[in-house]
Amino acid sequence: MYEPDTTAILAGDEEVKAYGSNFSLGHEEDTELPPPPPPTSRPSGPPFACPLPVSVEPVMFLSVFAVVLQAPLITQYLWDRISEDVGYNASKRSECGNSSAGPNALYKEVETLTAHWNLYISLAGFSVGLLVVPLLGSWSDSAGRRPVLIIPNLGLAMQIVVYLVVMYLKLPVAYFLVGRLLSGLSGDFNAILAACFAYVADTTDRKGRTFRVAVLEACIGLSGMFASIIGGHWRRMQGYINPFWLVLATSLASALYAFLFVPESIEKDPNAKLITIRHHKAVWHIFSTGASEGGGRFPRCKLWLYMLCFFLVVSVHIGSRELLLGLKVMLRWLEDSWVAVISLVSNITGLLVFSVADSTLLMFTGYGLLFFFVAATPVLRSKLSKLVSQSEQGALFSSVACVESLCYLVGSGVFNSVYPATLHLMKGFTFLFAAIVLLIPAGIIGSLRCLEMNERGDSTTS
């Protein structure tokens, strides 16, 4: 009796399976299978879990502390080094008698050179960061947020190492540009801003996003205030070196915290490339085609107008602080656009009082009217975030960070120029000018909110 060779049959079956799609029956046409989806990896967790209910807030706090602490120290060091180089000594001015013209000329030279070198150092970081920050921000949309929280902090640490070498060896101040460029090539503080706000957008819903953004803004204000308080006193007591060692330690601590305790917030694409023109195209795509979700009518126009509002508000609000409790209460009862309008009205009113204040009582009255003046910036960040998809948050907030960096240059330059030019006309004209500027974003935000309400009404009736 014939028995089939089971070994041969099994081998034949395995051959058919191995050939897969190359094996077809006579009456079937060859078909192309769709390409497999790109491989992604699930969000990876950090080595340790943070025991506190925070995520990127400590990264923001530590990074802001490092940046704010070093800024006045650099300016003062430049002043002292340039004074030493040109032979100017302020403590001996009173001993010069009739030759006071010489010291006055030297004083102006030191002041001019210090301002110029401060400008060169700022422009060095800003110009390089203008190219690198959008690259890193868009890359984080596919590669993950954690690398962009770590790399720029390491870049800031490298900058401080260069600064310390310059101070220890008393090298020419031009070497500060080397440290600034190293930090700019790694994304600088603007990349940290972009990654932190994008992380919050990843981990919050649309309803709770505004308050979480405000918490990050509060970290900026509180950390900056703390660094400003201790920086000047410490320099007077111990000089420059020890404060800069603290800046270095703080930058490294921020990078270490992000590595150890911050979980990834998005699904990573292992094939994501950093050096590609696609990342800059993604940023351009946002502003050229408009919002991809929640934009309603005229999405591109809304995106540009909200960005203009952000630019004007931040330019006026350099160094602002937060009032979280009031914001939390108002968001419970008001839509966030009206919260922003109330914030701007509060600011405008306080600035108008400052412009005419001629007594201490009026100055304190102005500060009282400014009780809610910083709520506009987290609202605007949240509104911008809601206009793009989750896969575009990094690209968006990298653009916002670049605009914010530009605000520091434009805001300080404009208002520092307006003050001396109008001092003979009106002492408080600078405050009046700031109040007039803030009327523009207040009108834009209110108009856009009314447009959104009309859009909702039209969609309901249709």
Domain ranges of the chain: 53-88+111-262, 285-462
Q: What is the pLDDT of residue 180?
A: 93
34: DSSP letter: P
Q: What is the pLDDT of residue 226?
A: 86
Residues 6 or more apart in contact with residue 190 via CB below 8 angstroms: 129, 133, 398, 401, 402, 404, 405
DSSP H stretches of helix in 239-390: 241-261, 278-289, 299-316, 324-333, 336-356, 360-369, 376-385
Residues 6 or more apart in contact with residue 169 via CB below 8 angstroms: none
- Is the pTM here over 0.75, yes or no? no
Rg (CA), the chain: 28
Residue 67 amino acid letter: V
CATH of 53-88+111-262 given 1.20.1250.20, 1.10.3720.10, 3.40.50.300, 3.40.50.10320: 1.20.1250.20
CATH of 285-462 given 1.20.1250.20, 3.90.1530.10, 3.90.1300.10, 3.60.90.10: 1.20.1250.20
Q: What is the pLDDT of residue 285?
A: 81
Q: What is the pLDDT of residue 38?
A: 47
Please answer whether residues 264 and 44 qualify as being in contact, where contact means their C-beta atoms are separated by less than 8 angstroms. yes
Please answer whether residues 60 and 251 qualify as being in contact, where contact means their C-beta atoms are separated by less than 8 angstroms. no
Q: What is the pLDDT of residue 165?
A: 95
Exposure b/e, 217-248, CB count within 10 A at least 16 = b: bbbbbebbeebeeebeebbeeeebeebbebbb
Please answer whether residues 347 and 373 qualify as being in contact, where contact means their C-beta atoms are separated by less than 8 angstroms. yes
Please answer whether residues 145 and 155 qualify as being in contact, where contact means their C-beta atoms are separated by less than 8 angstroms. no
Q: What is the pLDDT of residue 340?
A: 78
Q: What is the pLDDT of residue 334?
A: 63
Ranges of residues in the chain with a pLDDT under 50 are 1-42, 93-101, 319-323, 325-326
- pLDDT tens digits for range 401-436: 888 888 877 877 787 778 778 877 787 788 888 888
Tokens of 408: 């520091």
Please answer whether residues 58 and 285 qualify as being in contact, where contact means their C-beta atoms are separated by less than 8 angstroms. no
Residues 6 or more apart in contact with residue 436 via CB below 8 angstroms: none
Q: What is the pLDDT of residue 328?
A: 52
Name residue, tokens 């109008």. Answer: 422
